[in-house]
């Protein structure tokens, strides 16, 4: 596991946009910049750890109230910008530990904050903005639902520090009354439980797994490589549907989500029966 | 006094909470119109649970009924809290997503079809981890697609409540109805205690949990729309009103600036007082279209 989530996110945000500061009015944990991506301008958004964050339970890179509402605002801003031009791509750089686990957050309805961010990304996608999630580090649980999982296309680095999962290992072990070792062993037997990004890729939700040299330190070569992949993903998103159906039609999904696809096919067949 | 013929309404009423998912769904639809889709006899079960020594259920804990409410087409999707705490797996998620997508397709083609979601769920089914999380992302997307045309009405009755990623599904719904017994939140108290310590949240403090996550509070602070009694008839009547009302003027989850300002105004030096939050947020509350 990466020592601290967000370090990579910040490094790649800086490499891809030339910026490393939050916009006015945003918390220090939220980075947004418009930068060139091939021939056009894309909006890049990233959540990073801010040790001085206003809310104590987000200081290690969790997605909290300010982050979620800030994401929603910046995504909706990109929609407004795109009204008169070609719909601007939005790249969600993902390196988030989780949602914030705090009482303040729960009391102030963090579920709604998360919903506004997911809703903003989905609105942009449905209006034709290509949304690309680039997972450079961790993409866990409510953090990923809030920031990235509504993307048309998901890219991830093929690296052992990349983790896409419903719950981080230690918490999942405690809740399911298993040891971390047991959980890791189970993950190798039961694909959807695996913490290995290559196993995640087999589930068919990922557009592409990117082999990037030394992902902790972006270089001109790897930045150019990642930009090329992003440009391809944008083109692929534009050519495809504005929903999440590509996650179901992939070869991986046909192998690994057979039961779900069969249930869906039955539902479609029975829907209009008298 | 002592009129033995008088039967109080609390005795006559039929509890909604005590009904299982299928009976809950049936109680909402116009009599005789309900038809179950991908029902238990088709045995669409989780392929992942048996390998972990857990008995699957033949409907995967997700009941889909199509019918009408006030003669309008509606699909009701009910999660069974008694099966794996209503958690979302590959199959239950696929059923919910497919039902929402078909309702959206019909609505886009001119037959507006609302959805009623009965959410009793702890969120992701950890035994299907990544497929559960992916399913929730897809359910959120499908709710957002459908609510462009027809309302998505979430009912949280209890006693499981609605937690984890599924709380985002409630968050993007057009309307949320809750009983006093129901809870709604992203993180349950146990998870917060585990992750952030008992001084952050003492999960044995039941009164605190209900003061924060309970239906009365969520409706009081304006992040849910209506507090309903645990009475099947009255819940059906409320759902009917929202089906008839159609879409709200503005969805709650689109009110980004309003909530950003509210969060900015909070004093974070101490824990938030739920009552204070209810007072300050309800004053400037923007009501939905109905009720």
Q: What is the pLDDT of residues B151-177, one digit of tens each?
A: 999 999 999 999 999 999 999 999 999
Q: Which two structure tokens, joined as six digits, stand for B65? A: 């009924």
Between CA B185 and CA B212 the distance in angstroms is: 9
**Residue B218 burial (CB < 10 Å; 0-12/13-18/19+)?**
buried
**Could you tell me which CATH number the domain at A7-243 has?**
3.90.226.10
The secondary structure of B26-88 as a DSSP string is: HHHSPTT--EEES-GGG----SSSGGGT----TTTTEEEEEEEETTEEEEEEEE-TTSGGG-B
Is the alpha carbon torsion for B185, B188, B193, B194 positive or negative? negative
Partner residues linked to A164 by β-bridges = A139
Q: How far is B1 from chain A (nearest CA, A)?
A: 45
Quote the ipTM score.
Answer: 0.97
**For residues A155-160, average pLDDT:** 97
Facing B252 at nearest CB: one of A112, A142, A189: A112
Contact B64 A141 (CB under 8 A): no
pLDDT at residue A2, rounded to an integer: 45
Question: Nearest-CA neighbor of B118 among B149, B152, B70?
Answer: B152
**Please, which residues 127-166 of chain B have a Cβ atom closer than 8 Å to chain A?**
127-138, 140-141, 144-145, 148, 164-165
Which pLDDT band holds residue A173 (cuts at 50, 70, 90)? Answer: confident
Q: Is A123 on the interface with B (CB under 8 A)?
A: yes
Question: In this model, does residue B36 exceed pLDDT 50?
Answer: yes
Lowest mean pLDDT among A92-96, A160-164, B247-251, B278-282: B278-282
- When the pLDDT of each residue in chain A is averaged and rounded to a whole number, the result is 94
Contact B172 A119 (CB under 8 A): yes
Which pLDDT band holds residue B289 (cuts at 50, 70, 90)? Answer: very low
Q: For A85-101, what is the HEC assignment?
A: CCCCCEEEEEEECCECC
Give me the residue spans of the domains in chain A. Answer: 7-243
Report the chain A residue with the minimal C-alpha distance to residue B191: A101
Q: What is the pLDDT of residues A101-119, one digit of tens each?
A: 999 999 999 999 999 999 9
Which pLDDT band holds residue B11 (cuts at 50, 70, 90)? Answer: confident
pLDDT at residue B164, rounded to an integer: 97
Which pLDDT band holds residue B219 (cuts at 50, 70, 90)? Answer: very high
Between CA B23 and CA B120 the distance in angstroms is: 14
pLDDT at residue B23, rounded to an integer: 98
The secondary structure of chain A as a DSSP string is: --SSTTHHHHHHHHHHHS--SPPTTS-TTEEEEEEEETTEEEEEEEE---TT-SSGGGTTS-B-HHHHHHHHHHHHHHHHHGGGSSPPPEEEEEEE--B---HHHHHTTHHHHHHHHHHHHHHHHHTT--EEEEEEEEEEHHHHHHTTTT-SEEEEE-STT-EEESS-HHHHHHHTT--HHHHHHHHHHSGGG---HHHHHHTT--SEEE--SSTTS--HHHHHHHHHHHHHHHHHHHHS-SSSTHHHHSHHHHHH-HHHHHHHHHHHHHHT--
**Residue B180 burial (CB < 10 Å; 0-12/13-18/19+)?**
middle
Q: What is the pLDDT of residues B99-113, one digit of tens each?
A: 999 999 999 999 999
**For residues A261-266, average pLDDT:** 98
Contact B47 A259 (CB under 8 A): yes
Q: Which two structure tokens, joined as six digits, stand for A149? A: 């999982």
Which pLDDT band holds residue B5 (cuts at 50, 70, 90)? Answer: confident
Question: In this model, does residue A1 exceed pLDDT 50?
Answer: no
**For residues A203-216, average pLDDT:** 97
Pick the CATH number of B14-283 from 3.90.226.10, 3.40.718.10, 3.30.460.10, 3.40.50.1480: 3.90.226.10
pLDDT at residue A156, rounded to an integer: 98
Which pLDDT band holds residue A175 (cuts at 50, 70, 90)? Answer: confident
Q: Which two structure tokens, joined as six digits, stand for A72? A: 């929603």
**For residues B138-149, average pLDDT:** 98
Between CA B130 and CA B218 the distance in angstroms is: 29
Question: In this model, does residue B10 exceed pLDDT 80?
Answer: no
Facing B38 at nearest CB: one of A76, A123, A266: A266
Q: Which residue is associated with the tokens 């309003």?
A: B258
Partner residues linked to B121 by β-bridges = B162
- When the pLDDT of each residue in chain B is averaged and rounded to a whole number, the result is 94
**Please, which residues 85-104 of chain A have a Cβ atom closer than 8 Å to chain B?**
99, 101-104
Contact B134 A203 (CB under 8 A): yes
pLDDT at residue B288, rounded to an integer: 45
Report the chain A residue with the minimal C-alpha distance to residue B255: A116
Torsion of CA A95, A97, A103, A106, to 10 degrees: 60
Q: How far is A5 from chain B (nearest CA, A)?
A: 16
**For residues A45-67, average pLDDT:** 95
Cis peptide before B159 (omega within 30 of 0): yes
pLDDT at residue A263, rounded to an integer: 98
Q: Which two structure tokens, joined as six digits, stand for A252? A: 């991986």
Facing B44 at nearest CB: one of A73, A175, A266: A266
Q: A163 — phi, psi (to 5°)?
A: -130, 120
Question: Nearest-CA neighbor of A67 among A47, A93, A94, A90?
Answer: A47
Question: In this model, does residue B291 exceed pLDDT 50?
Answer: no
Q: What is the pLDDT of residues A67-111, one digit of tens each?
A: 999 999 999 999 998 666 789 999 999 999 899 999 999 999 999
Question: In this model, does residue B275 exceed pLDDT 70?
Answer: yes
Angle, alpha carbons B24-B29-B33 (nearest 5°): 125
Report the chain A residue with the minimal C-alpha distance to residue B90: A260
Facing A110 at nearest CB: one of B137, B186, B200: B186
Angle, alpha carbons A160-A164-A169 (nearest 5°): 80
Which pLDDT band holds residue B9 (cuts at 50, 70, 90)? Answer: confident
């Amino acid at each position: 596991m990466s020592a601290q989530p967000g370090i990579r996110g910040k490094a790649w945000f800086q490499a891809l946009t030339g910026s490393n500061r939050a916009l006015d009015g945003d918390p220090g944990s939220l980075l947004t910049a418009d930068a060139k991506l091939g021939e056009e301008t894309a909006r890049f958004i990233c959540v990073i750890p801010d040790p001085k964050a206003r809310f104590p339970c987000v200081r290690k890179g969790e997605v909290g109230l300010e982050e979620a509402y800030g994401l929603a605002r910046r995504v909706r801003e990109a929609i407004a910008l795109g009204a008169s031009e070609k719909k601007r791509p939005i790249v969600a750089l993902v390196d988030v530990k989780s949602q914030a686990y705090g009482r303040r957050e729960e009391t102030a309805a963090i579920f709604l904050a998360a919903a506004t961010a997911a809703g903003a990304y989905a609105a942009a996608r449905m209006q034709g903005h290509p949304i690309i999630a680039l997972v450079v580090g961790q993409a866990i649980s409510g953090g990923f639902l809030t920031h990235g999982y509504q993307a048309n296309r998901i890219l991830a680095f093929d690296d052992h520090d990349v983790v896409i999962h419903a719950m981080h290992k230690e918490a999942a072990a405690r809740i399911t009354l298993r040891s971390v070792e047991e959980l890791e062993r189970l993950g190798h037997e039961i694909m959807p439980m695996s913490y290995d990004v290559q196993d995640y890729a087999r589930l068919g939700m990922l557009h592409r797994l990117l082999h990037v040299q030394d992902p902790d330190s972006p270089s001109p070569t790897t930045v150019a490589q990642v930009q090329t992949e992003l440009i391809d993903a944008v083109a692929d998103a534009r050519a495809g549907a504005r929903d999440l159906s590509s996650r179901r039609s992939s070869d991986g999904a046909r192998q690994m989500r057979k039961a779900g696809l069969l249930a869906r096919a039955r539902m479609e067949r029975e829907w209009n029966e008298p | 006094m002592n009129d033995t013929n008088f039967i109080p309404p609390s005795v006559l009423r039929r509890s909604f909470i005590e009904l299982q998912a299928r009976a809950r769904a049936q109680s909402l639809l116009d009599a005789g119109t309900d038809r179950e889709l991908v029902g238990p006899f088709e045995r669409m079960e989780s392929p992942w649970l048996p390998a972990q020594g857990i008995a699957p259920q033949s409907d995967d804990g997700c009941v889909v009924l199509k019918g009408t409410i006030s003669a309008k087409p509606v699909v009701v999707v009910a999660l069974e809290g008694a099966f794996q705490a209503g958690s979302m797996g590959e199959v239950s998620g696929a059923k919910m997503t497919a039902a929402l997508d078909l309702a959206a397709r019909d609505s886009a083609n001119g037959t507006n079809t609302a959805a009623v979601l009965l959410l009793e769920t702890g969120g992701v089914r950890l035994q299907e981890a990544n497929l559960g999380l992916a399913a929730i992302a897809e359910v959120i997307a499908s709710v957002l697609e459908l609510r462009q045309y027809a309302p998505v009405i979430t009912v949280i009755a209890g006693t499981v409540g609605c937690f984890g990623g599924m709380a985002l599904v409630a968050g993007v719904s057009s309307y949320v109805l809750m009983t006093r017994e129901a809870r709604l939140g992203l993180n349950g108290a146990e998870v917060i205690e585990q992750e952030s310590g008992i001084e952050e949240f003492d999960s044995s403090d039941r009164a605190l949990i209900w003061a924060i996550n309970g239906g009365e509070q969520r409706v009081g602070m304006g992040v849910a729309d209506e507090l309903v009694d645990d009475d099947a008839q009255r819940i059906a009547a409320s759902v009917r009103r929202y089906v008839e009302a159609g879409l709200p003027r503005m969805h709650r989850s689109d009110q980004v600036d309003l909530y950003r300002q509210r969060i900015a105004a909070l004093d974070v030096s101490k824990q938030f007082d739920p009552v204070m939050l209810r007072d300050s947020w309800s004053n400037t509350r923007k009501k939905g279209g109905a009720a």
